[in-house]
Amino acid sequence: MSTEPTTQDPQGQGAQSPFPERPQNPPGSEAAMTPRPDYGEESYRGHGRLAGKVKTFGQNTVFGRPAQPIEVATSYVFLASDESRFITGEVIGVAGGKPI
């Protein structure tokens, strides 16, 4: 009697689909699409609801300006790292001194 464990393919285990597998073609080239995809870089026209607020965005913080990406990214990287493994259920306010 052998005591060595046997290996099993995990893809064959579990629930199986009752539907037959259907072939799927790989995606095509964006250049070949008609009409061409429109991602809105040039065609997007907003409703104008924020037009007057863009100049004042971020001025209600203690620093009087919006945050730069690096100023908030370091907190996100910290929270995603092992260094934050003992932090649970906390609110870390990265709000430029504005109370949360």
| Tens of pLDDT, residues 56-90 | 888 888 888 888 999 999 999 999 999 999 998 88
Structural domain boundaries in the chain: 53-91
Secondary structure of residue 75 in the 3-state scheme: helix
Secondary structure of residue 73 in the 3-state scheme: helix
DSSP 77: H
Q: How far apart are CA 28 and CA 89, in angstroms?
A: 45
Q: Between the CA atoms of 15, 16, 17 and 20, what dihedral angle is there, to the nearest 10 degrees?
A: 180
Q: What is the pLDDT of residues 9-34, one digit of tens each?
A: 777 788 888 899 888 888 888 888 88
State the first-to-last Cα distance of the chain, in angstroms, to the nearest integer: 66
pTM for the full model?
Answer: 0.42
